[in-house]
Chain A
Amino acid sequence: MTSIAAARTDGWRRTLRDPALFVTVFILWALLALFILFPLAKLLARTFLDGGQITLGNLVAILRDVNHRQAFWNSLLLAALVGLCGTVLGFVYAFAAVRANLSRAWITVLDAASLLPLISPPFTTAIAMIYSFGPRGLITYHLLGIKGFTVYGLHSTLFSETLTYFPIAYLTLKPILAGIDPNVEDMAFSLGSSRWRVFRTVTLPLTVPGLANAFLLLFAASLADFATPLILAGNSFPVLPTQAYLQITGLFDLKGGAVLSFVLLVPALVVYLLQRFWVSRKYYVTITGKVGAQTTIKSLAPWARAPLLGACLLLAGVVLYFYVLLFYASVVVALGANHAWTWRHYQVIFTEGLKAIRDTLVIAGAGMPLGGLYGILLGYLVAKKIFPGRQAMEIVSMINYALPGTIVGIAYLIAFNDPPIVLTGTALIIVACYVFRYSPTGIRATVALLQQIDPSIEEASQGLGAGSGTTFRRITLPLILPAFFAGLGVVFIRSMTAISATIFLVSINWTLITVRILENMTELSLGPAAAFSVLVVVIVFAVIVAISGLLRRFRTPGAVDMTSILGG
C-alpha cells in the first residue's frame, strides 16, 4: 500500500518537476476532454436527460418502435454473418498465402486484391454491385437475362460488406499462421498424424484466438458500416446506423438520432472490450528456442492445393472485377445502357466537384501532420513517462476509434452546434473528428515500437555521456519515426475515404468527396460517383506508395508495415 501511495506522489512530483511534461500532459488532457469526452457526455445527456431529469423515457420510446427494434436485430444479424463469412474467407486466403508454398508473384496478386478494399471510399463495392446485379445489371440482366432480381436487401449487403472487410481478417490471420513454426507441424507428422489431423489438431487450434479476433473486428466493422447498407440494404432491411442517419437528416430528430446511436454503442463497446481485453490475451506464444531448421511446409495435400488456390483466385477475381468495373463505369457514358467512351464524368468532378476535392485534400492535408504528431506524442508519453492518469489517457484516446463513426458524428453534431463551443460548419470540426478518430493507429504503433526498444539502448546513450535531450533527439526519435509516418498515413487515408462520422459534419462551406459520392448515388448519377471513387483510390494508393517508401528508408528492426496498419 505504502509503495503504491509512494509511487503516486512520486509520479506527481516528477510531473511537477518536469515543466515540459506537465504542460504537454495538460494540453493533451484538455484536447481529449474537448474532443472525446465532452461530445460523448453530450450524447449521453441527450439520451438520458429530459428537462434536467434523468430518464429512460427516450430510450423506451425509441425501442417501442418496432422498426427500430428490427433495425437493432438486423444490425446484429448482419454483423454476425459478415463476421462469420469474412473470417472464413480471410482464413482461406491467409492459409493459401502462408501455407501453400506460393511463389512471390502469386502472393503479390493476393495481397493487391486484399489491399484494394482497404483503401477505397465506402461506396465502391456498392456501386459495382448495382452495376452488376441492379435492375439493369451487367450480370443479372444482360448476362443471365434475369428480370426483376432485387439487388437490395440482406444478401447484397452481406456480400458487399464481406468483400470489403475480409482483408481485415486476412491481415489479422496471416501473421498468426505465419508465426506457427512449421517444425511444430512436422513434429505432429512425425508422431503419425495425417495432414488433415495435423490441421485439425495443431494448426487450427493455434489459430483459434486469431479467428475470434478477426470475427470481432469484422463484427465491429460491419456494425459501424453506414455506407453499404445505406445504398444496398433497402427499405426492407433497416439497420441502426442508417436509421440514426435518416432520423437526423430526414426527420431532423437529433434526440432520436442520439438515442439510436446509443443503442448502437452498447454492442459496439461490448465487442471492442472483448476484442481488446479478452481475445488479445489468449494468443499462444509458440515457445521455441532458436528459430527451427528450415523446412518445407507440408501441411497442404497436393490435391487440396488446386481448389484452395482456385477459391482464392475467384475471390481476388471478384474484387478485381469490381474495381475494373468501377473504372470502366467512370469512362463510359452510362454503364449498362450506353458504352460510348467519354471523359465527361471526370470533367464533372473536376468542375462541379472541384470544391469537394479541394476541401477534402485541405482537410486530409491538415489532419495528417496534426494526427501524426498527436499520435507519437501521446504514444511516447503513455509508453515512457510516468505521470498521474497515464492509463486513463490511453483508454480515453482510444474511445473515438472504438466507437462506430455514426455515434462519433452525432456526438460532435450535438456537442459543437451550440455555445459554448460552436464549430459546426467549420473545417476544424472535420479535422478534429478525423484526428481523434484515426490517430490511435499511430499511438499504438508508437507504443509498440517503443516497447520493442530495449531500455538499455537509451541507457547506453546516457552512459556515453548524452543527456536526456540528446538521447531523445538522436536515439528515440529516429527509432519511432516509422510510427509517425504510419500514423499520419492512416489519418490521411481515412480522411479521404471515411464518411460515417463526417456525413453529419459537412456544410456548405466544407464538404467531402465521399459525401459527394453519396449525393451522386442518390441522384442516380453513377458515372461521376465512379469517377470520384477512382480518383480517391488513385490518390490514396499514391500516398501509400510514398509512405511505404519513407518507411523503407527509415527502416529499423521491427518497423511497422504499412499494409498491416490498415487492417485494425
Chain B
Amino acid sequence: MSAVGIRLEGISKRFAHRVKGEVYAVRDVSLTVQPAELLTLLGPSGCGKTTTLRMIAGFEQPDAGRVFIGEQDVTGLMANQRNIGFVFQNYALFPHLSVFENVAYGLRVQRQPEQEIARAVGDVLALVGLQGYDRQFPNQLSGGEQQRVALARAIVIRPRVLLFDEPLSNLDAKLRVHMRGELRELQQRLRISAVYVTHDQEEAMAISDRIAVMHQGQIVQEGTAESLYRHPGSEFVAQFIGRTNLLSGRVRSAGPGEIELEVAGQHLRLPGDAERATAGQILRLVVRPEVIELRPADSPDGIAGTIVSRTFLGEKAEYQVRVGADLLQVTSYNPVQRGLFTVGQPVRLHFPAEGIQLLPGGPA
C-alpha cells in the first residue's frame, strides 16, 4: 500500500463562546501533507491545532472547506468511515479491555477472522515492544506502556493516515524524548502520512519533516524546522520557535549592500538589502542569543552594553546584557576557551549580519 497525503482546503470551525459569542477556532486553513510526510501543527494552547486535527479525523465537522485523504473527499464522512489511526493525548484506552482486546478492537469491528486478529495483534505488539503484555489491563501499565498500546491500537488497522494529538505530553521529560524517537522511526518504517499536534517547539523540531505554526486559528508559517528558525516571518514565529531577542531599530541610511540602523541610541551597520528599507523606517531585529558575539569594551564596532547576569552551564554560558533600556539574552558556547565575562563588565555586542532577520514595523 503506497502512502497517501492529506489536503485541507479552506476549512473553518466556529464555536459558540459563552462570553464572546461565535468565535473561530479554525479559520480558513489550507494545508497539504505529502505522502509519507510527518507534518506538525505547532502553536500555543487555543490556537486551533487540535480542532484542525479533529476535523481531519472526522470527530468535528468543518463549517466550511473540504478535507481530502488521498484523492478522496472525506468531508462528509464520519470518523469510523475514514480509516484513520488516532493517538489521543490521554491515550483513551478502553479500561475494561485487556491490552490484546484493546489492540484487536479495530480488527474485530472489521470482522477479521480470529486467526488473522491474533497474528496481527501479536505482530504489532512486538513492533512496539510489548510482547507478553496481552493479558494486562490498561490500569496495570505505566504511562509509557499505555502510550505504546495506544500506538499499537492505532496502527494495527493499517490506517491511511496517522493522527497524533499531543501524544507525549503525559510522559515525563526523559521518556518523552525517547518515545518521540520511536514514533518517528515507526512512522518512517510504515511509510505513512502523519499529522502531529504539539505545543512543544523542541518536540516539533525533533520529529517533523515540516512544521505548520498556528496562531489564533490560522497557519502563520509553514516550513522545515531550519527555515522557520532562520527565517521567521513574524515576531510570533520568531518568539515561538527557539529563544530570541527582539530589538527595534530606526533606519538611518540604506546604502548599497549596507544598512545603517540606530538601535538603542547607538549606531549599527549591517550588511543587507538596501531595497528592503528606506531611511526613517522602523524595523524589528530578530537576533538569536547564540549569534551575538561578546567582545571586550575597547573593540571597534558593535553596540555597547553591560553584563547584568551570568549563568555558567558547562558547554555554554548564558548572559543577560543591558543595552540601553533593553535586556538581551546572549549565549556563548565553549566559554571556558573563549573567556568568561563578569557581571558589571562593559562589553560590545557584535551582530553578524547573516544571523539577523529584519522584520518590518513594530513599536519604536
* B22–A3 CB distance below 8 A: yes
* A454–B92 CB distance below 8 A: yes
**Can you add 20 more A-B contacts, CB < 8 Å, to A459-B57, A463-B57, A465-B81?**
A3-B21, A3-B22, A6-B16, A7-B16, A454-B92, A456-B88, A456-B89, A457-B93, A459-B59, A459-B92, A461-B105, A463-B80, A464-B80, A465-B83, A466-B80, A467-B78, A475-B94, A478-B96, A556-B95, A556-B96
CA of A494 to CA of B154, assembled, Å: 46
* B88–A479 CB distance below 8 A: no
Mind listing 16 A-B residue pairs with CB under 8 Å? A2-B21, A456-B88, A456-B92, A457-B92, A457-B95, A459-B92, A460-B92, A462-B59, A462-B80, A463-B79, A465-B80, A466-B80, A466-B105, A466-B106, A475-B94, A479-B96
CA of A554 to CA of B21, assembled, Å: 44
* A463–B84 CB distance below 8 A: yes
Chain A 539-560 near chain B by CB (<8 Å), digits 1 or 0: 0000000000000001011000
**A464-B109, A474-B105 are known contacts. Are A479 and B83 too (CB-CB below 8 A)?**
no
Residues of B within 8 A of A460 (CB): 86, 88, 92-94, 153
CA of A454 to CA of B88, assembled, Å: 11
Chain B 94-109 near chain A by CB (<8 Å), digits 1 or 0: 1110000000011001
CB-based nearest A residue for B106: A464
* B153–A464 CB distance below 8 A: yes
CA of A457 to CA of B139, assembled, Å: 14
Residues of B within 8 A of A479 (CB): 95-96
Residues of B within 8 A of A470 (CB): 109
CA of A467 to CA of B106, assembled, Å: 11
* B79–A459 CB distance below 8 A: yes
Interface residue ranges of B52-82 to A (CB < 8 Å): 57-59, 78-81
- How many B residues are at the interface, by size bracket? 20 to 34
How close is A85's CB to chain B, nearest CB, in angstroms? 41
CA of A466 to CA of B154, assembled, Å: 13
Q: Could you say which of A2, A459, A466, A467 contacts B88, with CB atoms under 8 Å apart?
A: A459
Q: Does B110 contact A (CB under 8 A)?
A: yes
Q: Does B90 contact A (CB under 8 A)?
A: yes
How close is A412's CB to chain B, nearest CB, in angstroms? 39
Residues of A within 8 A of B157 (CB): 464-465
**A3-B21, A459-B79 are known contacts. Are A465 and B90 too (CB-CB below 8 A)?**
no
* B22–A466 CB distance below 8 A: no
CA of A2 to CA of B21, assembled, Å: 9
- Chain A interfacial positions (CB closer than 8 Å to B): 2-4, 6-7, 454, 456-457, 459-467, 470, 474-475, 478-479, 554, 556-557
Q: Does B85 contact A (CB under 8 A)?
A: yes
Residues of B within 8 A of A462 (CB): 58-59, 78-80
Residues of B within 8 A of A2 (CB): 21
CA of A466 to CA of B106, assembled, Å: 7
Q: Which 6 A/B pairs are nearest by Cβ-Cβ distance? A: A464-B106, A3-B16, A456-B92, A460-B92, A463-B86, A462-B79
* A465–B109 CB distance below 8 A: yes
CA of A462 to CA of B79, assembled, Å: 6
CA of A463 to CA of B110, assembled, Å: 12
Residues of A within 8 A of B93 (CB): 457, 460
Interface residue ranges of B10-39 to A (CB < 8 Å): 16, 21-22
Chain B 174-199 near chain A by CB (<8 Å), digits 1 or 0: 00000000000000000000000000
CA of A461 to CA of B81, assembled, Å: 12
CB-based nearest A residue for B156: A464
Residues of A within 8 A of B154 (CB): 463
* A557–B94 CB distance below 8 A: no
* B109–A456 CB distance below 8 A: no
* A465–B106 CB distance below 8 A: yes
Residues of B within 8 A of A464 (CB): 80, 105-106, 109, 153, 157
* A557–B16 CB distance below 8 A: no
Residues of B within 8 A of A474 (CB): 105
